[in-house]
Structure 1
Amino acid sequence: MSTQASGTYQVTGWEEEPYDARDDVIKLTRARITNSFSGDIEGEGSADCLMAYPSETYASFVGLQRVVGSVGGRSGSFILQTSGVFENGVAKADWFVVPDSGTGDLKGLSGKGGYVSTDQTTCDVKLEYDLG
């Protein structure tokens, strides 16, 4: 039976650089992002994301994030694979736990969820999970 986790994460670091910057095509960037999770998920996240900016108000992104901390009171780490968009100032993403990525008490963790930004540095997060 799945458990629903919710909480927030606060962006604590953001380093973004173009990796294909041409004047006549869509801008492509790579970002290294750090986060601090609170709520049912507690801990620190470290993500690398690839982003495409077809306009000034829209971006599409994919990424991988390692979370080190606890879920539902059980400690360890796991990887989230993320896919989302940034549109008109709001980031929305879906994510899932990469299979077999859980360590420690989170070994066997599976799940999916996502987040929505509430401002430029804070996101409301959800994760529906099972601990095999």
Structure 2
Amino acid sequence: MDRAAEELTPEEEAERERAWSARPLDPRDYSRRTLLANERTYLAWWRTGLTALTAALAAARVVPELTDADVQWPYTALGVGFSIIGLVAIAYGHRRRLEVERAVRRGEFPATSDRVTGLVSLVGLLTGVAMLAIILFET
């Protein structure tokens, strides 16, 4: 009878766990996982960018049409803000993916760009303030 097909006793299970955790770690495994995580992060940048671009279209074109807004420019400004966030997210996501991939292969890790994250944060903050102003003052 095949021993692997049998159920293990708790002692055998504990011994198997100790043997597994004591095995030498393969550093290549970390690199593979990090590269796969980098790909997932890249896709997250894309999702964020596409979401912001969708919000830009909705803010600048759909909402004013549905609300019969008398003044168009606040919605256009809001759409521009969301567009900037979306475009920066997609472009920086690509750049960041390449930087991280190269660094992982060298055994390093690059820091994120304070300039880019600061720009996205500033535009996001300004866009949020513009949305708040539209909500509060647009009748």
Relative to its length, the structure with more strand (as a share) is: 1
More helix by share: 2
Larger Rg: 2
The alignment's TM-score, normalised by the length of structure 2, stands at 0.21
